[in-house]
Structures are given as C-alpha cells and as structure tokens.
Structure 1
Amino acid sequence: MKNTIAERVADFLKRFPPFELLKSDELLKIAEEVQILYKQKDSVIFEQGEPGHHQFYVVHKGAVSIQRKENDNTETLDKCDEGDVFGLRPIFAKENYLISAIADEECILYAISIENFQPIIQQNYRVGEFLIESFASNTRNPYSREHRGRLYAEGEPKQEVAPELFQLQPVNFVKNIISCTKNTPVTEVAKQMSKNNVGSVLVVENDLPIGVVTDKDIRNTIAIGLFPIDVDVEKVMSSPVICYSKGLTIAQAHVAMMKHKISHICITKDGTPNSKVLGIVSEHDILVSQGNNPAALMKAIKRAKKTKTLKAIRSRVMHLLNGYLQQNIPMTHVSKIMFELNDATIKRVIERSIKKMKTPPPVKFAWMSLGSQGRKEQLLHTDQDNAIVFEDVPEEKLEETKAYFLKLAKIANKSLNNIGYEYCPADMMAKNPDYTLSLTEWKHQFTEWITHPGDDEILLCSIFFDYDISYGNPALTNQLSDIIFDLTENNSLFINTLASSALRSPSPLGFFRQFLVEANGEHKDFFNLKKRALMPITDAARVLILQHKIKNINNTAERYEKLAALEPENRELYLSCSYSVKALLKFRTKQGLLHNDTGKFIELETLSKEEKIKLKRCFKSVSDVQELLKLRFKITPYL
C-alpha cells in the first residue's frame, strides 16, 4: 500500500534545492522518515546556545525568523520561508547552536533526521556543496543595504539582449592613455591636455592609477586662484579613481558616473586601482555615442516637434527600461532616470501645446503631475493624473482665464494620450474644470477636503498631496504646499482619518502565507500588487511624513528614509519599507513589461520561488508599518 503522506512530502521537497538533486527513490525514502511539526507563532524551534538537534528543518508552511543575541540586543539575520532549509549546524559542527530559530507565525515544518541524510551528503557532492553554502550563508537580511542573497542571488540571470540595445553594449574606452606622476606641475599637465586634445590626464604611481585630473579640476582650483599654476598635480587631482574592469556596459558607466558624481572612469585589468590600467572612459565618450542612452533620449525629447516623434521616443525609453532591469541596475537609479525622461516628455508636450494656442498664457501657471509621476515612481505607461494651478486674477477675468487653461489642458491631455499615457478613468486630469483652478480656488478646495474628510475627500487628498511640478512657476506649487501644511497642522481628525484610510487595503496574504489572488474577473488568479501592497505602503508613508510636517519629499522610498532619520527607534522598520517599495516597483515594472500593461496585476506562475519569497518579505514591511499606524493613531483597520 502506498504511503500517500510520504509521497506528498516528496512532491513538496523535490520542488526545492537540494532535494531536487535527489533521485526519486532517495527522496521517497527521506520523505517516509520525515517528522511533521506544527509550531505556533513565537514558539522556539531551537535557541542560541542549545545543543544541536538530531535533525534539520525545512519550512513547509509559514515563516521562521533566524535571530542572534549579543549582550541585550537581538538581531534578525534572516527570514526562512516556504522551502527554506535551516538548523544545519549539527551536520557540520558538533557544537551548540549559535543562532535561534523562532516561528515568525504559525507554521508547519519538516524535520529530517541528520543520521539518515548523512549518507546522501557523502554520496552526492552537489547536495553537500549546497548545504555547506546554506550553512555559511546567514546574512540574507532583506533590510540590509548591502548585496543580499548568498543562497539565492538577488538578481536574475542576465538574458540575451538585442544588439541594437545600445546601452547594454560594452563601452568603448580610450586605450591611448595620457598620464603623469603626482609630482608633475599642473602647467605641464595642461600642456599635455592641449597638445593631445584631451580633457583629462591619468595620474599614476608604479603604473597604478591614483588619481585623475580634468580641465574642470584645473578651472575649479588654478583658474580661481586656489593654487599657483606650477603646483604639483597631486593638489588638484580627483582621488581615488573609480575603476571598473573591461566589459563595463554603457548603462553601467552612465549610472556609475551619476552615482559617484564623476565624469571619468578608469578601466583596469581586474576592475580595481590595484591592477594595470587598460583605458579611460569619459562622460563625453558616452554622450557622443549614438543609441538609446538617457542623454541621447533626453536630447531627442527636447528636440521633438511632433507627438508621433515623442511616441516613438517613448518606445525607446521602454526598451531602455527593459535593458536596465535585465542588467539588474539598482531601482534607485532606474527610477531617477525614468522620472527625468518622463518629466521631459511632459514638459515638451506642454511647450508644444502652448505653441498651438493663439496667445501665450494670460498669467503664470503650473502643470502638476499627480500620483505615481508626482512621487517619481512612474516607470510604465499608466493613466494620466494631472492638474493646473494658475495665478489669482480679478473676478471678472476668472472665467476667461480658466477657459484658456482648460483649452490648453485638453490639447496636452490628448497629446499625452497619443503618446501612450491613458486617460484617467476617474477623469482626474487638467482638462476637467474641477482640477484646473486658481490658487485661491485650490485653497478653498483643499480646505473643503481637509475639514470634511469623507471617503471621497480622503481619496482625492491621497492623489493631490503627491504632486510634482512638471512645467511652469514653482512659486505657485510652493504656496499650495504651504496651504496644505497650514490646514493639516494640529488637525488630528484629518490625520487620523487619513491614517485609517491607509489601513483599508486588504492583507496581501491569507492562511499560511498564501497569496490572496483575484477570485474572478479578467484577472482571475492574478495577484493585485497595487491594491494589496503598493497602495498601503505608499499611503502609510504619506500620512507619517505629513505628521512630521516634512515638505517637498514625495517619493515613497525617500519618505521612509527621511522617517528613519527622524525616528531612530523605528529606523529598521522604515529602512525595510524603503527597500520593499523599490522591490515592489521592480516587480510591477517587470510584470508590466511582460504583459504590456500597467503591471498592476502579477501572474504568480511567472515568478520563481526566490521571487515569491522576496515578494512575501516585502509584505512583512507592509504589515509592520500598518501595525505602527494602528498603535500611533489608535485606530483599527476597516474590515
């Protein structure tokens, strides 16, 4: 008679390493001897200092927290999820546990006898290698700023990319290097630069790069009189040199220059300053290259004279975004680049729309991008959310002035739609008379929303509080910010209502941490990432930053980083939220590119086990920050 329980255990184990490496008969034999354990939330599986057990563990359902205690501080090293292996110390070291394992929530574990598993480790090198790596890898903390995931790499394997995707091609570097020593007078260096028609000279010592001097360095030091012209170049050079190895892509070079605020990168044999110099890359080298790099796209956007041209450029921007994701470029840099390209597109549309009007704007105005673009988080083609604020005018000129801006907005909204930005289903766009208002009208509107915070008013505030000026006079939007903060200051009713609204989004996970997917409709069995994860963590950041009266920080990740500085006691939570926001945006972007839509819904079948684990860890941050809201504002979520 078949042992159906053992077969079910084997079917589960074979989905995960290292059990996937076992033969069917080996796996079934292990499964027959597995002990199935149920643990309630916060129950101890083993404690730091406790003698090693005769078994190690695999998480079947739920989650386990791996912790280490030093003095009076307890640090969470890792969170083990479905399929994760832990408690391996007794296999490799006859010592007491150096860490503790605590049930993070109710869970079911498979306990596997070490004695029965030892022969498999000895016979199967790959299984043993995996377990040794797992044993050594105890720092997979998603809250860490360092590269995470020694057991499972954070990034995906690089995919083949089309040759025309220029920014992913290796950067061309100058091999004929002009160099000098640190004691060379600047006057001699300047002569070398002039003679060889170059903008930089590499400073070397024992054939190793120790600095770089550029024409900008000379302007900023010698030309303004900080040093005499014959001073040693050591005094004015930039050091240390940022080095990379051969094979650096144009995208990576561009991001590195942005990150380090430099204009030159040194190419060395091993990518460090401790090996032979192969060449040098300048910002100019990248800019003069042809292709879909950000600088070339920005230049094309500013020169575009037709909507169809902007639409074509937009498809190249999406191509660039896809390449960045494949190369695993950090989302912080990707978001900034994509925001600037999106913002430049909007600016160009407004400029062209004004030219289509018979007369120039009658008064100063500002075009505001709302929602995700206002938070600098819009990476994909999403629907438009925008508004206009214009200077106050005499009562008799108000209707005429508003009519002008409504006509302008209609042209701009249509052009954006033609480019690929869908119309807002709720009509929250500048062409709607409700959202093109004078400064005083906006003040009255915000006063109404904030002093009478019903469901609709809170929804509007959550959209209109996240705005960024895309075109026009910033003094107008600054005054709007002052109005909002004046109205919300000491307004506990509004803040509490806003906090309560942030708790409305349903939990991302159900019983035993299963994804709660759509039960019916067009997206049946898909996971609503926007509603269940991005919205609640975004809403929480908004209300918390508003409570602290912090202006001009609209980006959600940046809001959490600011909160981490303001509230040191909650630093770990806020930094985990910042990390989670970036990860969730990356999930959404990848799904949007996969399905050619907004990425709102995730097809779970397209995710790997590692991606599902990472997604669930992000949900932990959502849950934790919602708990903070409940305690701080003494409210309960809507059921």
Structure 2
Amino acid sequence: MANSIAARVADFMGKHPPFDLLPQAELLALASEVTIAYHPKNERIFSENQAPKDHFFMVHKGAIALKRPSTQNLVDLCDEGDVFGLRPLMAQEQYKLDAVAHEESILYAIPIAVFKPMAVAHKEVGDFLIESFASNTRNPYSRQHRGKLYGESSSTPPGPSETKLFDFQPVPYSKKIVCCESGTPVQEIALKMTEKKVGAMLIVDKGLPVGIITDIDLRDKVVSGKFPITASASEIMRSPVITYPKQLTVTQAQMALMKSGINYLCLTQDGSPNSPAVGMVSEHDVMLAVGNNPAVLMKGIKRARKTKHLKPIRNGIQQLLADYLELNLPMRLTTKIISELNDACTKQVLQIALSRMDTPPPVPFAWLSLGSQGRSEQLLRTDQDNALVYADVPDTEAEATKTYYTELARKVTKRLHKIGYDYCPAEMMASNPNWCHSVSDWKTKVTEWVSSPGPDEVLLSAIFFDFNLSYGDEKLVNALSDHVFDTVAKYPVFLTHLASGALKNPSPTGFFRSFLVEQNGTHKDQFDLKRRALLPLTDAARVLSLSHRIKSINSTEERFEKLAELEPNNAQLYRSCSYATKALLKFRVKQGLLHNDSGRFIALDSLSKEEKIKLKRTFKTIKDLQDLLGIRYNASNRI
C-alpha cells in the first residue's frame, strides 16, 4: 500500500526549491524519511551554540523567527516552503542563531544522511542551498569552502553565482598592525614602515587609534618639503581615523574606500575609535579579493562627465539589483547598496548640471530627495520626487536667487529623466517653483501645513517630511529638520490628522481574507501593492517617528526597529512591521523586474499559492498597526 503521508509531503516539498529539482522517485524516497513536528508559538527549535542536529528544517505551515541571541534582533522570518537550520549540513558547526516559532508551526525535519547524497548528485540542488545558507545566516559561505560541497573536495572552479556571493564575504585584513605614538618623529616612522614593508602607520594614544600616516602623506607632506623629517607624527597624520567593525564585508569595504577617497581602513573591536584596533584593510587588499562589484559602478559614476555616461551605469545598477534578488541576499543590505549607488548618480547629475550653469551658486543650497528615494526605498526606476532649499538672501536678491536655483533644478530633473527617472506627474520636483524655496520660505510653508492641516496639507507634508540630503549644505537640512520637529511639537493635533491620513489607505483584505482589488480603471482586478500594503506601513512609521522626534532615520524598516527600542511594550509589533516592510518591498521589486514596470499593480492570477500566502502574512501586521494608530491618536476619518 502506498504511503499517502509521504506522498503528501513529497507533493508539498516538490513545489519549493531546491526539492523541485529532484527526480520524483528520489523526492518520494526522501519524503518517506521526513519527520513531521508541531511547534507551538514561542517554542525554541534550536539555540545559538547548540550542537548540530542530524537534520535541517522546512516550514510546512506557520513561521519561524531566526534571531541574534545577543540582541534578539530578527534576522529572518521563514514562511511556508522556506528551509533553515542548514549549518550542520553546510559547515558541520554549532548553530549561530536562535530559531523560535513565530506562530504555531508545522515543520518537516529532513535527515541530512538521506538528503546529502542526493544534493551531491544534483549540483543545482547544492548550489541553491549554498546560496540559501549564505543569505539566511547573513554570513556568506566562507571562501575556503568555494568549489566544495559540505566539506568534500572538488577541483571545480567557482561559478558566476558563487563569485557574486563573495561580494558579501568578510573582508580580508591584516592583524599585524604597525603603530606608534603621536610624538614619534616622521623619520623614524618612515624607517619603520620600510622595515615592516607596510604602506601605513597607525598612530595610537593609550592603545586607541587617533590618526594614520600613509606613504602618500610622507610624499605629499615631507618629501615635498612642507614638513621637516624631524616633525612629529601628530603634525602630519590624518585624524580622526575612519574605523569599522571587523565584520566588514568586501563590498562594504570597497564602498567605504571609494566614498571616503582613502586608501586604508582601521578595524576596531566595536567599530569605533574608542576601542583598540584589531586590523588594517588596504585598498590593494580589497581589490585583490574581488574584481567586479558595486565599487566598480561607484567608480564609474564618479568618473562620468556627461549624462549619457551615467545611463548605462544606471542600467548596471538595475542588473545588480536583479542579481542580488536572485541570490536571495538580505533585503536590508541590498537596499543600502542600491540606494547608495542611486544617490551617487543623483550627486553626479547635480555636479554635471552645476558645471553647465553660467555662474557658481550664489548662496549655499541643498538638494533634497523626497518620498521613496528620501526613505532609501526607490530600488526600481520610478518617478522623481525632490525639492531644493537655499540660504536666505536679502529681498533685493530674492527673485534672482530663486530664478538661478529653479534653472539649476530644471537641468537636474531633465538629466535624471534621461537616465531613467520619470517626471513626477504631480510636478513635485525642484524644477517647479513651488518646490524650490529659501530655508525661511520652507519653514513658513511647513508651519502652514502643520498649523492648519487639511487634506492637501497632510498629503504634501507626508511626501515632504521624508526628505533626505542628496547633495549640498547639511546645515540647511538640519535647520529645516529641527523646524519640522519643533512645529509638530507645538501643534500636536497635527499628528492626529497625519494618523487619520495614514488610515485612509484601505485594508489589503476584505471578507474571508480575500484580496481587495481595483474595481475599475486600467488596473481593474489587480492588487495595488503600494496603496494597500506598503503605504500603511510607511505612513504609520512617519507619524510615530515624528511623535518620538526620531532624527536621521528615514528608512521605514529602520524606523520600526528604532520604535521597537523606544517602546518595548510594542516591540514585537514593530519588529513584525519592519519585517513586513522588507518582505513587501522585495516582493514589489521582484514583480517590477519581472514585468519591467513599477511593480505596484499585481495580477493575482499570476501568483503562486505560496506567494499569495506570504503576501497575506503581512496583512495581519498592517491591521494591528492601524489599530494601534487609531487608538493612540483617536484617529479615524478626521480629514
């Protein structure tokens, strides 16, 4: 008699990678060895440093939270069809994370002894699990394992996907630090650097890094005759030292070197200059480790002197995004890298536009990214939202100054359009005089929005209050930011109106948890992922961040992480919101890349059952968040 339970297990496993890559007979044989286990909410499946089990896991129903034990921060949330607990299979090591049932869950325990020969026989299965292991643990498979599967030797060179994964390997660094005190003479430093064959000397005070001297500094400052060879280290060193934690990845190191225009990074115990140095990273070390990664794109951006040179680079960024999603790399890291590259494109466009102006800027100014770009969430090429703020000038110069910056903004928005960013249909762009003002005029406008909040004022403030500096004078932005917080504190009723505006976004589901789709128009019968799922989260995060006066954090998921710290009693909800934001953003980007559009509207019949389940999983979090918002601000339909 056929094993009906094994058949049902095989049927479920066969719908998900990597098991869908196995021949049916092998899949059924594996399923017959699987153990099914029920875990109530909050039950621990395994803990950090626990001895490895003889099986790994697949989620059949429910969700499993993977957390860092030291901080209890959520690393990943595994839904139906996800695999986890791969460390015993991949590295024969103790677990590095805690795995806890986020809700009632049913798991399949897959025996390693039975599965391993199948994975070795089917290379594509092993490749998938290597990538899954890298992304789920947020620590890519170590370099010495490349070309190997589960510790078995192989002479096969790393493939393309493995090369991409190395972008996220820990950066190689030298633990042999050559250092001296700040009073050491330059001549002695040069001799010691020559003796040790190093290109940099770390300057320390009481064991802590306070400066650095490189061979370039010796050339530019001593050999040039600006300082004598008897000068002390403190006279020519670069200070403060740019420090990072030793967990820095190759990609992060390249971005840091490129962004800062330096050749060496100092790694310390906690990533700050207030702890002892543990290593040094040179540009040469990093470039030897990997050849082609985001830093190459960054270098190309900074070298671009014409807009047409940026367009292919912008296409390269889009391809990089697609590669990262295909590898299932952590969304936070993907978002940060892509946003950094997009921001660099904006900066370069501004520099190109400034070079085309007849005269230099008359007063300091700042270019502000608004909306999704201001939140570092504009991964796809959607439309522009930006503004410009400039320093106050006498009344006699006001008109000429505004004309100058409006013309500059026109050149910038035109060039951004050329490299792939559509014009904003509502003209919420700095090229529109209504979005180009002096700092005093912007303060006046903010005061008007906050003190007399109607539907239009709430809408405009919701877009504007996510502003982020892309280029220019940081002092102007800080002054504007302080004014926003001060004005909101002065008119607290504004938060109620803003919360009511956030609650205007309709629920994602209707009766029987069915998706609410568009009833008419171009997107009839499609699901509006932005309006019904993402906006409720971003709008709520904005209201709560304003109420807590949270500065310098614009990303929605990072805002929720900060809120979890500030409100321990609501920490679980806020962390769920952070996860939901990343999951929905990732889903939208995947849909946008698949259909070559913004990913906003989704044809539900094109989704698999598992995709629909994962979407619906975020909806309860959205409802709970909107309930909290309504109760806290007594907000419902005030606008």
- Report TM bin, short chain: 0.5 to 0.7
CA contact under 8 A between 1:292 and 1:320: conserved in structure 2? Answer: no
CA contact under 8 A between 1:243 and 1:265: conserved in structure 2? Answer: no
Partner of 2:624: 624
Q: Which amino acid aligns with 1:362?
A: P
Partner Cα separation in structure 2 for residue 515 and residue 566 of structure 1:
33
Partner Cα separation in structure 1 for residue 601 and residue 515 of structure 2:
12
CA contact under 8 A between 2:167 and 2:293: conserved in structure 1? Answer: no
The yes-or-no answer on 1:508 pairing with 2:508 is yes
Q: Which amino acid aligns with 1:428?
A: M
Partner of 1:549: 549
Shift in Å, 1:200: 9.6
Per-residue CA distance 1:204-223 (angstroms, 9 max, x = gap): xxxxxxxxxx998999xxx9
Partner of 1:354: 354
- 1:322 partner SS: helix
CA contact under 8 A between 1:292 and 1:316: conserved in structure 2? Answer: no
CA contact under 8 A between 1:368 and 1:388: conserved in structure 2? Answer: yes
Shift in Å, 1:64: 10
Partner Cα separation in structure 1 for residue 611 and residue 14 of structure 2:
18
Q: Which amino acid aligns with 1:552?
A: S
Q: Which ranges of structure 2 fall in alignment gaps of 5 or more residues?
A: 1-9, 29-39, 44-58, 66-73, 83-100, 119-135, 140-157, 178-188, 202-210, 218-230, 235-243, 268-279
- 1:387 partner SS: strand
Cα gap change, 1:334 to 1:265, in 2 (>3 Å):
farther
Cα gap change, 1:446 to 1:163, in 2 (>3 Å):
same
TM-score after normalising by structure 1: 0.63
Cα gap change, 1:396 to 1:102, in 2 (>3 Å):
closer
Shift in Å, 1:549: 2.1
Cα gap change, 1:288 to 1:489, in 2 (>3 Å):
same
- 1:358 partner SS: coil
Q: Which amino acid aligns with 2:323?
A: G
Partner Cα separation in structure 1 for residue 530 and residue 506 of structure 2:
11
Greater shift in the superposed pair: 520-529 or 602-611: 602-611
Per-residue CA distance 1:155-180 (angstroms, 9 max, x = gap): xxxx9858997976999989xx9989
Q: Which ranges of structure 1 fall in alignment gaps of 5 or more residues?
A: 1-9, 28-44, 49-58, 67-75, 85-100, 111-120, 130-144, 149-158, 181-188, 202-213, 227-239, 267-279
Shift in Å, 1:430: 0.7
Partner of 1:529: 529
Shift in Å, 1:521: 4.0
CA contact under 8 A between 1:503 and 1:638: conserved in structure 2? Answer: no
Identity %: 51
CA contact under 8 A between 2:170 and 2:247: conserved in structure 1? Answer: no
Greater shift in the superposed pair: 524-533 or 375-384: 524-533
Per-residue CA distance 1:503-529 (angstroms, 9 max, x = gap): 111112233333333344443443221
- 2:387 partner SS: strand
- 1:348 partner SS: helix
Shift in Å, 1:263: 7.5
Partner Cα separation in structure 2 for residue 400 and residue 563 of structure 1:
44
Larger radius of gyration: 1
Shift in Å, 1:391: 1.8
Cα gap change, 1:11 to 1:389, in 2 (>3 Å):
same
Cα gap change, 1:243 to 1:421, in 2 (>3 Å):
closer
Partner of 1:376: 376
1:77-476 equivalence runs, <5 A: 194=194, 197=197, 283-287=283-287, 292-476=292-476
Partner Cα separation in structure 2 for residue 603 and residue 352 of structure 1:
41
Per-residue CA distance 1:123-159 (angstroms, 9 max, x = gap): xx99xx9xxxxxxxxxxxxxxx9779xxxxxxxxxx9
Shift in Å, 1:432: 0.7
Partner of 2:127: none
Shift in Å, 1:347: 1.3
Partner Cα separation in structure 1 for residue 571 and residue 168 of structure 2:
39
Q: Which amino acid aligns with 2:515?
A: F
Cα gap change, 1:524 to 1:292, in 2 (>3 Å):
farther
Shift in Å, 1:483: 1.9
Partner of 1:30: none
- 1:428 partner SS: coil
CA contact under 8 A between 1:292 and 1:317: conserved in structure 2? Answer: no
Partner Cα separation in structure 2 for residue 623 and residue 576 of structure 1:
12
Q: Which amino acid aligns with 1:445?
A: K
Shift in Å, 1:576: 1.7
Partner Cα separation in structure 1 for residue 331 and residue 372 of structure 2:
15
- 1:389 partner SS: strand
- 2:468 partner SS: strand
Partner of 1:560: 560
Shift in Å, 1:447: 1.8
Cα gap change, 1:253 to 1:438, in 2 (>3 Å):
closer
